[in-house]
Amino acid sequence: MTDSDVVPFRVEVPQAEVDDLRLRLARTRWAPAQDLDGERGITQDEVRRLVEHWSGAWDWREHEAALNAFPQVATTIDGTRIHAVHVRAAREDAPVVVLLHGWPGSVVEFLRVIGPLSGTAHVVVPSLPGYGFSGPTPTGGWTSQRMAAAVAELMARLGYTRYVAHGGDWGSRVARDLAVVDPDHVAGIHVTMTNGLEPADGGDERAAERARRYAEELSGYFKTQATKPLSLAYGLTDSPVGQLAWIAERFRDWTDPASDVLGPQLLDLVLANVAVYWFTGTAGSSSQLYWERRAHPGDEWSTTVPTGVCVLPHDLRLPVRAAVEPAVNLVSWTELPRGGHFPGIEVPDLLVDELRRFLAQVWPGAPTDG
């Protein structure tokens, strides 16, 4: 095996690590209860409820089996292991789509999308460098542009000469950068966030209000991870409850209330996503992207690659068409009726339909249903 080889991969967490997680949860040292007013973060009662389920009925092996139900690969690119789910469609000439997660997401974010979408397209879902099974990265310097170059190399090694990239959160930036670093092979990009294309006047009232709330209430995590990600990593890597609370608060705050992502229907999937960070020890390496973005800013968008934007009404930030349209080759603009920051978990049916529609626009002959 050489570094350029692409080899089969399976998720196999040792039982000792699964047992250790339960022991750590049972021995949690809880913060003293206080009578506090106002919204100061996720409450202890809520975290205790999540921990009770995580350490009780929830079973990692079920989610490990769900991941391993899909073919997976690994290869070494630019000095680090790159992992991906890779599911081929029945039709050899089917379109190709790469699904890109962000923070605090993982390949788990797309488990409800991969099966239905693979009826239409070849599907590749990488773990971004430093995240999940592509981490921890051994060095720093992993900007979104460097990640895009790694994804482009992965797609080439998988034998794809043309593909469409979809992304949310940091995945939107990586998709954006793919259109710049690999334009000869990117047939189109489809994103849910358009950071860097905010209007000077704040845009429409709804987007401006969302931006104000983010700046005033929801952006503390960003400041910490962009300035002192290493200091934060010690606590998150040592305490599963710390890791859980840090991620669960984002799912609570960034999603459609109707999705109820911490409720009985979706909680197991959210906990599986948290467990990926825990078992791979990637709290620190995944946070580094925020530091890299601050140290190496850049918001270059392709003006030639066909671009689609999908607006989720409860997302963290809302794209504004008046700012986006002059900056990119905008061929598609969709505003979904529901959903938030994690559409693959919240509204997988709507996301699959939207991706099929976009593929049909930019890939001649692509089917519009499965």
Extents of the domains making up the chain: 63-362
pLDDT at 370 over 70: no
> Does the annotation count 160 as an active-site position?
no
Higher local confidence (pLDDT), 211 or 23: 23
Candidates 287, 292, 335; CA nearest to 311 is 335
> Does the annotation count 163 as an active-site position?
no
Using an 8 Å Cβ cutoff, are 349 and 357 in contact?
no
Using an 8 Å Cβ cutoff, are 60 and 272 in contact?
yes
> Does the annotation count 101 as an active-site position?
no
Give 1's pLDDT tier (boundaries 50, 70, 90): low
Q: Which of 86, 221, 341, 353 is catalytic?
A: 341
Q: Which of 221, 277, 290, 314 is catalytic?
A: 290
Using an 8 Å Cβ cutoff, are 53 and 271 in contact?
yes
| pTM of the predicted model as reported, rounded to 2 decimal places | 0.96
Q: Which of 169, 253, 315, 353 is catalytic?
A: 169
pLDDT value of position 296? 81
Homologous superfamily in CATH for domain 63-362: Alpha/Beta hydrolase fold, catalytic domain (3.40.50.1820)
Q: Tell me what the mean pLDDT of segment 62-67 comes to.
A: 98
Give whole-number Cα distances, 330 to 163, 218, 315, 317, 333, in Å: 17, 29, 20, 19, 8
Angle of the 220-227 helix axis to the 229-238 helix axis, nearest 10 = 110
pLDDT at 213 over 70: yes
Q: 312-326 pLDDT, tens per residue?
A: 999 999 999 999 999
